[in-house]
A = this chain, B = another copy of it.
Amino acid sequence: MKEAKQSRKVKYTQTTLKDSLIELMKEKSISKITIKELCERADVNRTTFYAHYADQFQLLKSIEDETISWVKETIAGFSGKTSKADFIKNIERVFEYIIENRNHIRVLMSEQGDIGFQRDLLAVIYEQCGMWLSNDVNTDPAKSVLYFIFLVNGSVGLIQHWLKTGLKETAAEMSELIYSMSRGSRPD
Protein backbone atom coordinates (compact mmCIF):
# COMPACT_ATOMS: atom_id res chain seq x y z
CA MET A 1 0.00 0.00 0.00
CA LYS A 2 3.09 2.15 -0.16
CA GLU A 3 4.84 1.45 -3.41
CA ALA A 4 1.66 0.34 -5.14
CA LYS A 5 0.12 3.81 -5.10
CA GLN A 6 -0.11 6.04 -8.14
CA SER A 7 0.55 2.90 -10.06
CA ARG A 8 -2.08 2.91 -12.79
CA LYS A 9 -0.35 5.38 -15.09
CA VAL A 10 3.11 4.01 -14.42
CA LYS A 11 2.06 0.45 -14.96
CA TYR A 12 0.36 1.29 -18.23
CA THR A 13 3.39 3.17 -19.51
CA GLN A 14 5.79 0.37 -18.64
CA THR A 15 3.52 -2.32 -20.04
CA THR A 16 2.93 -0.58 -23.35
CA LEU A 17 6.65 0.06 -23.71
CA LYS A 18 7.41 -3.60 -23.08
CA ASP A 19 4.76 -4.73 -25.52
CA SER A 20 6.06 -2.37 -28.18
CA LEU A 21 9.62 -3.54 -27.70
CA ILE A 22 8.55 -7.15 -28.19
CA GLU A 23 6.68 -6.18 -31.35
CA LEU A 24 9.72 -4.35 -32.71
CA MET A 25 11.99 -7.26 -31.85
CA LYS A 26 9.93 -9.37 -34.23
CA GLU A 27 11.10 -7.09 -37.00
CA LYS A 28 14.68 -6.20 -36.15
CA SER A 29 17.46 -6.80 -33.64
CA ILE A 30 17.32 -4.75 -30.48
CA SER A 31 20.47 -2.81 -31.35
CA LYS A 32 18.80 -1.36 -34.42
CA ILE A 33 15.68 -0.32 -32.55
CA THR A 34 15.73 3.40 -31.73
CA ILE A 35 14.17 4.92 -28.65
CA LYS A 36 12.34 7.29 -30.97
CA GLU A 37 10.52 4.61 -32.96
CA LEU A 38 9.86 2.58 -29.84
CA CYS A 39 8.12 5.54 -28.22
CA GLU A 40 6.17 6.32 -31.37
CA ARG A 41 4.98 2.73 -31.50
CA ALA A 42 4.00 2.81 -27.85
CA ASP A 43 2.53 6.29 -28.14
CA VAL A 44 4.63 7.38 -25.20
CA ASN A 45 6.69 10.52 -25.01
CA ARG A 46 10.40 10.00 -25.38
CA THR A 47 11.07 11.93 -22.18
CA THR A 48 8.79 9.55 -20.34
CA PHE A 49 10.82 6.60 -21.56
CA TYR A 50 13.99 8.08 -20.12
CA ALA A 51 12.18 8.60 -16.84
CA HIS A 52 11.91 4.81 -16.56
CA TYR A 53 14.80 3.28 -18.47
CA ALA A 54 18.25 4.26 -19.63
CA ASP A 55 18.02 2.47 -22.97
CA GLN A 56 16.29 -0.34 -24.84
CA PHE A 57 18.62 -2.94 -23.32
CA GLN A 58 17.56 -2.06 -19.81
CA LEU A 59 13.93 -2.30 -20.87
CA LEU A 60 14.60 -5.74 -22.32
CA LYS A 61 16.38 -6.76 -19.14
CA SER A 62 13.28 -5.90 -17.12
CA ILE A 63 11.20 -8.14 -19.39
CA GLU A 64 13.74 -10.93 -19.06
CA ASP A 65 13.83 -10.64 -15.28
CA GLU A 66 10.05 -10.82 -15.08
CA THR A 67 10.06 -13.86 -17.32
CA ILE A 68 12.66 -15.67 -15.27
CA SER A 69 10.66 -14.97 -12.12
CA TRP A 70 7.49 -16.15 -13.77
CA VAL A 71 9.05 -19.38 -14.98
CA LYS A 72 10.61 -20.00 -11.59
CA GLU A 73 7.24 -19.65 -9.90
CA THR A 74 5.54 -21.72 -12.54
CA ILE A 75 7.84 -24.71 -12.28
CA ALA A 76 8.41 -24.40 -8.53
CA GLY A 77 5.66 -26.93 -7.90
CA PHE A 78 7.00 -29.39 -10.42
CA SER A 79 8.41 -32.64 -9.21
CA GLY A 80 12.15 -32.76 -8.84
CA LYS A 81 12.31 -36.48 -9.47
CA THR A 82 14.74 -37.64 -12.07
CA SER A 83 12.68 -40.47 -13.46
CA LYS A 84 12.17 -40.32 -17.19
CA ALA A 85 8.41 -39.86 -16.90
CA ASP A 86 8.72 -37.00 -14.42
CA PHE A 87 11.34 -35.16 -16.39
CA ILE A 88 9.49 -35.39 -19.67
CA LYS A 89 6.28 -34.30 -18.03
CA ASN A 90 7.91 -31.25 -16.49
CA ILE A 91 9.72 -30.10 -19.61
CA GLU A 92 6.56 -30.68 -21.59
CA ARG A 93 4.65 -28.32 -19.36
CA VAL A 94 7.28 -25.62 -19.86
CA PHE A 95 7.06 -26.08 -23.62
CA GLU A 96 3.30 -25.83 -23.49
CA TYR A 97 3.64 -22.50 -21.75
CA ILE A 98 5.99 -21.37 -24.46
CA ILE A 99 3.54 -22.38 -27.16
CA GLU A 100 0.39 -20.83 -25.86
CA ASN A 101 -0.55 -17.31 -24.95
CA ARG A 102 2.85 -16.14 -23.79
CA ASN A 103 3.62 -14.33 -27.01
CA HIS A 104 6.69 -12.57 -25.72
CA ILE A 105 8.60 -15.70 -24.76
CA ARG A 106 8.73 -16.73 -28.39
CA VAL A 107 10.56 -13.51 -29.16
CA LEU A 108 12.85 -13.76 -26.17
CA MET A 109 13.85 -17.28 -27.16
CA SER A 110 14.24 -16.50 -30.86
CA GLU A 111 17.49 -15.74 -32.63
CA GLN A 112 16.67 -12.06 -32.14
CA GLY A 113 16.78 -12.71 -28.42
CA ASP A 114 19.57 -12.46 -25.88
CA ILE A 115 21.61 -15.63 -25.68
CA GLY A 116 22.55 -14.86 -22.10
CA PHE A 117 18.93 -14.82 -21.05
CA GLN A 118 18.20 -17.98 -23.01
CA ARG A 119 20.96 -19.89 -21.26
CA ASP A 120 19.87 -18.62 -17.87
CA LEU A 121 16.29 -19.64 -18.53
CA LEU A 122 17.20 -23.16 -19.61
CA ALA A 123 19.60 -23.51 -16.70
CA VAL A 124 16.86 -22.54 -14.26
CA ILE A 125 14.49 -25.05 -15.79
CA TYR A 126 16.97 -27.90 -15.85
CA GLU A 127 18.14 -27.27 -12.32
CA GLN A 128 14.58 -27.34 -11.08
CA CYS A 129 13.89 -30.50 -13.05
CA GLY A 130 16.83 -32.25 -11.47
CA MET A 131 19.00 -32.34 -14.56
CA TRP A 132 21.88 -30.78 -12.72
CA LEU A 133 24.96 -32.98 -12.46
CA SER A 134 25.35 -36.66 -12.93
CA ASN A 135 24.09 -39.14 -10.40
CA ASP A 136 27.31 -41.03 -10.66
CA VAL A 137 29.56 -39.96 -7.78
CA ASN A 138 32.58 -41.15 -9.73
CA THR A 139 32.06 -38.56 -12.45
CA ASP A 140 34.52 -35.69 -12.53
CA PRO A 141 32.66 -32.58 -11.27
CA ALA A 142 34.40 -30.38 -13.83
CA LYS A 143 33.16 -32.67 -16.56
CA SER A 144 29.64 -32.41 -15.20
CA VAL A 145 29.78 -28.65 -15.60
CA LEU A 146 30.84 -29.07 -19.21
CA TYR A 147 28.07 -31.55 -19.77
CA PHE A 148 25.56 -29.07 -18.41
CA ILE A 149 26.86 -26.32 -20.69
CA PHE A 150 26.60 -28.65 -23.66
CA LEU A 151 23.06 -29.58 -22.69
CA VAL A 152 21.88 -26.01 -22.13
CA ASN A 153 23.34 -24.70 -25.37
CA GLY A 154 22.12 -27.64 -27.38
CA SER A 155 18.64 -27.15 -25.97
CA VAL A 156 18.63 -23.44 -26.80
CA GLY A 157 19.52 -24.27 -30.38
CA LEU A 158 16.80 -26.89 -30.59
CA ILE A 159 14.14 -24.58 -29.19
CA GLN A 160 15.14 -21.81 -31.57
CA HIS A 161 14.88 -24.22 -34.48
CA TRP A 162 11.53 -25.41 -33.18
CA LEU A 163 10.19 -21.85 -32.97
CA LYS A 164 11.65 -20.89 -36.34
CA THR A 165 10.15 -23.85 -38.18
CA GLY A 166 6.67 -23.14 -36.91
CA LEU A 167 6.27 -25.42 -33.90
CA LYS A 168 5.73 -28.55 -35.98
CA GLU A 169 6.60 -30.88 -33.16
CA THR A 170 4.30 -31.12 -30.17
CA ALA A 171 5.44 -30.12 -26.71
CA ALA A 172 5.51 -33.80 -25.81
CA GLU A 173 7.74 -34.65 -28.77
CA MET A 174 10.13 -31.82 -27.95
CA SER A 175 10.28 -32.96 -24.37
CA GLU A 176 10.99 -36.55 -25.37
CA LEU A 177 13.61 -35.37 -27.84
CA ILE A 178 15.54 -33.28 -25.36
CA TYR A 179 15.33 -36.02 -22.80
CA SER A 180 16.89 -38.56 -25.14
CA MET A 181 19.64 -36.18 -26.19
CA SER A 182 20.38 -35.06 -22.67
CA ARG A 183 20.52 -38.57 -21.32
CA GLY A 184 22.75 -39.54 -24.21
CA SER A 185 25.29 -36.83 -23.56
CA ARG A 186 25.44 -37.44 -19.84
CA PRO A 187 28.87 -38.43 -18.69
CA ASP A 188 27.80 -41.13 -16.26
A161 in contact (CB, < 8 A): yes
List CB contacts (< 8 Å) of A173-188 with chain B: 177, 180-182, 184-187
Q: Copy number in this complex?
A: 2
A182: nearest residue on chain B (CB-CB)? B185
Q: How large is the interface on A (under 10, 10 to 19, 20 to 34, 35 or more residues)?
A: 20 to 34
With a CB–CB cut-off of 8 A, which chain B residues contact A177?
143, 146
A167 within 8 Å of B by Cβ? no
* Distance, CA A161 to CA B147, complexed state (A): 11
Of listed A31, A152, A154, A177, residue having the most chain B CB within 10 A: A154
Task: Quote the shortest CB–CB distance from A33 to chain B (angstroms).
Answer: 11
Residues of B contacting A116 in the complex (Cβ-Cβ under 8 angstroms): 111
> What are the 9 closest A-B residue pairs judged by CB atoms, nearest first?
A153-B157, A31-B31, A154-B154, A150-B154, A184-B184, A184-B185, A185-B185, A181-B185, A153-B153
